Structure 1
Amino acid sequence: MNNLLSLYNVFNTVAATGSISQAAKVLYVSQPAISKAITNLEECLNQVLFVRNSRGVKLTEEGQILYKYTKEAFDILKQGEDHIKRIQELGIGHLKIGVSATLCKYILLPYLDRFLKTYPHIKITIESQSTIHTLKQLENGTLDIGLVAKPANLKMYEFIPVAEIEDVFVATKDYLDNLRLREKYEDLFSAATILLLDEENISRKHVEEYFKDNNIIPQHILEVSSMDLLIEFAKTSLGVACVIKEFVSDELNSGRLILIPLKKPINKREVGFCYSKSAYLSDSLKKLIDFVRLKNE
């Protein structure tokens, strides 16, 4: 097939120029080599493709039919080459990123804002989902990279830390004051409504481990689907919410929410970009990885 492709290229060039000598100049080969290639192709197809005349060569009827297809084929190949060159010149690419809605809002978007100013021709697709789903997709190769809490097992993944987060409990002053009026309690967790993310969430699992290690048994739990809702529910005085401290800094500084002191703080966690060690690193993915590493030096 490779030999035939070379013969078709010679044929297409001769047909386009109408001259063996001109085709030899275009392809940087000798005229005898061009003539030999045409003869070989005619023998392969068992057809006469050119007739010689005083001005050079002319396509036969069969040659005209073949040229229609070879011209279209080589034009498409040229378009492909031009497209690849354009991709290289402009840095065109595509990245699929997996991230939870919370990490997307508070960490990923600020990174992408700066990244896309540097590489405006890279298209970004964001899969908004749990960390568990992101890691599964990284494993099966349907995502390029994810922004996740540091996995417990890094055997299959490369992890680039970008932030440290701390899980805390917060509530409004009104909620705590009213709770004290109607409940006489020694243990806040047994009396208050505790607002938590759903059980499949990585943050929830982290907090459940903390409860278990510290013999804390909440009596009234209200599950919420997202961190933003947890924060809003807490600000509406619906209960004591487990949130990420860095994401409620404004509310804590303004006094809108109050930090609940714990006998033992919940261990902080690392958040970072994660990709499979076996993944193909496209040019776009390499750019993002280098960008993240540079920003965190």
Structure 2
Amino acid sequence: MSKLDLYKVFCMVAKSKSFSKAANDLYMTQPAVSQAIMQLERELDTRLFTRTPKGVFLTNEGSLLFEYANSAINLIHVGEEKILEFKNLTTGELKIGVGDTISRYFLLPYLEAFHNRYPNIKFKIVNGTTLEICAIIKSGEVDIGICNFPLEDPALELRPCIDIQDIFVYGEKFKEILSGPMSLDKVVKLPLIFLESKSNSRKYVEDYMMSKGIKISPDFELGSHDLLLEFAKINLGVACVTREFSREYLDKGLLYEVQLTQEIPKRSIGVCFLKSVSLSPASTKFVEILENKRGQEHFAKMQ
């Protein structure tokens, strides 16, 4: 028997004060229990029990050992129960890396759905750019990231969730100039409002325009999507934004979409995580919810 098994037998005998009763509780034969106690006593070179016709009783040395062994076995049982709780999603923590814009306009319905299904799982949300999120996934600070694609990182598993469209929007001041269809090379001659250069969204649009021989030189470079919309609303320029995240401004007539003669190709928002590490049960369930087609349809209707 392993040392752990010997201690389990020892604790059961100490509690029941009987070899035969311990044998029944452990589904063992009485000789096997007796042999286990004798083996442990030999290994420790100490007598642990006093045998009497009325049963067995711990010696002083046995009482000291029982205090520690019983605590250790109880902790093991608690650990096993915690593992089951994690597997059954009755406890645990889900750590997600995500940017403010994606969190606000995409992630919230999925967080709500997950929380309603697994209310005992705690959330830890870490904000950052796509590159920052990739770094904290690899450092183990978060379990999964919700990022702007395309993304190239051989260490990460990438799973697209929804397609999004980059567009240009403008306020009342530019309405007359931009009322008809407009080519990209003409749009860039106007005052431009873009996300800062380290943004993955900005890089995607800029790379596409460069492939068409069009170079951009923004008049404003901002740190959030909401600021892009606000700057465009007060007529500081034409802003490059995500259509799905700008619906409120467009539907209320606060901003207008530039009708491009050729749309920028769609890109994706998706979930990413380390290839080399298995996802926790909570992370696995959350990814399933993100990939659920009904959930995506629900998101599309919300927009």
Q: Which category of TM-score, normalised to the shorter sequence, fits these structures?
A: 0.7 to 0.9
- Relative to the length of structure 1, the TM-score reads 0.87
- Identity of aligned pairs, percent? 38
Q: 2:229 aligns with which of 228, 231, 235?
A: 231
- 1:182 is matched with which residue? none
The alignment status of 1:26 with 2:25, answered yes or no, reads yes
Question: Any conservation in 1 of the 2:150–2:267 contact (CA below 8 Å)?
Answer: no
Alpha-carbon distance in 1 for matches of 2:45, 2:213 = 87
Determine the C-alpha separation between the residues in 2 that align with 1:86 and 1:214: 54
Contact map agreement 1:233 1:239 (CA 8 A) in 2: yes
Residues 16 and 22 in structure 2, CA contact (< 8 A), matched pair in contact too:
yes
- Please report the TM-score for the alignment, with normalisation by the length of structure 2: 0.85
Give the whole-Å Cα distance in 2 for the aligned partners of 1:139 and 1:68: 42
Residue aligning to 1:258? 256
Q: 1:31 to 1:152 in 2, by over 3 A?
A: closer
The root-mean-square deviation of aligned C-alpha atoms, in Å, is: 2.6
**Aligned position for 2:272:** 274
**Number of residue pairs matched?**
289
- Give distance in 2, aligned partners of 1:90 and 1:246: 32
d(CA) in 2 for partners of 1:28 and 1:119? 37
- Distance in 1, matches of 2:30 and 2:215, equals 90
1:194 CA displacement: 1.4
Offset of residue 217 of structure 1: 4.3
Distance in 1 between residues matched to 2:2 and 2:208, nearest whole Å: 68
Q: What is the CA distance between 1:75 and its match in structure 2?
A: 1.8
Match of 1:136 in 2: 135
Give the Cα separation in 2 of the matches to 1:129 and 1:118: 27
Question: Is 1:55 aligned to 2:80, yes or no?
Answer: no
Task: Tell me, in whole angstroms, the C-alpha distance in 2 between the residues paired with 1:156 and 1:72.
Answer: 42
Q: Which amino acid aligns with 1:282?
A: S
Give yes or no for contact 1:49–1:60 (8 Å, CA) kept in 2: yes
Q: Which runs of 5+ in 1 are unaligned?
A: 180-185
Counterpart code for 1:225: G
- 1:110 and 2:143 correspond: no
1:79 corresponds to: 78
Aligned counterparts, 1:241-256, within 5 A: 241-256=239-254
Pairing partner for 1:289 from 283, 287, 290: 287
Structure 2, unmatched stretches of 5+, are: 179-184, 297-303
Match of 2:205, SS state, is helix
CA distance in 1 between partners of 2:265 and 2:177 (Å): 30
